[in-house]
Amino acid sequence: MSDSSGRSSSGPEGAAMPLPGVYPEDLECDVTTSAGAVMHMRPIRPDDADELVHFHLNLSSGSVYRRYFAFHPELSQREVEHLTTVDYVDRLAFIVETDDRLVAVGRYDRIPATDEAEVAFLVTDEFQNHGLGLLLLKHLADAARHRGITTFTAETQADNRGMLGVFKDSGFPVTSSIEEEVVSVSFPIEPTEESRARYAGRTRPSDRQPPTSPT
């Protein structure tokens, strides 16, 4: 059930809806890449700003272009603030870290007053095609469902085989349309037998200590 803002009054199986602005520590976990490396995944925090700037500066111009549909070598301070400050309900981003370095970001933004959210992903060049895009999509979908979102949408360039591969391989029933070399995709995020099989064994609870002062 949804109210006029598109939010459910409770999550699946009657679970309480997470509160906006409260850092969801329970979403922290460790994930295994397709190369067998174990990395830490957690919701983004405002104090990730410096790491995000560094991450962006080290991306190839091609990767940045794929994400922003423009050449955009540096993030402005305002963008960094917007990208790192989320409410964890209508806007949520996960980062992936290895050796305390940010190597991937995936996010959803709810389309106001709907049960739909737009997703976007960016994986550092060195770790592209290691399964992080798929893992981010799975964790975003799980978190979004608990926050009253039913459908993900995205826009990507028609020749972005990596992004289209992630959606195609996710096990979600993706529908798409194309206009002027931009593919729009949409899919319900309820798990399917295929999506469960796709992600089996790739995530485990984190053995890291929780942060001392979560924001």
- The CA radius of gyration of the chain, in Å to the nearest whole number, is 16
What's the number of CA atoms in the CB half-sphere (13 Å) around residue 142?
Answer: 17
Residue (26 or 125) nearer to ligand COA, CB: 125
Q: Does 192 sit near ligand COA (CB under 6 A)?
A: no
Q: Does 120 sit near ligand COA (CB under 6 A)?
A: yes
Q: What share of the chain is helix, strand, coil (3-state, %, to 5)?
A: 30, 30, 40
Q: Does 141 sit near ligand COA (CB under 6 A)?
A: no
Q: Which of 169, 186, 192, 203 binds ligand COA (CB under 6 A)?
A: 169
Contact map string, positions 72 to 111, toward ligand COA, x by CB under 6 A: ----------------------------------------
Give start and end residues of each alpha helix (H) in 85-179. 132-145, 161-169
Which tokens belong to 134? 């798929």
Cα-based distances in Å from 43 to 37, 72, 179, 208: 20, 24, 33, 14
Residue (80 or 123) nearer to ligand COA, CB: 123
Contact residues for ligand COA (CB under 6 A)? 34, 63, 66-67, 120-123, 128-134, 154, 156, 160-163, 165-166, 169
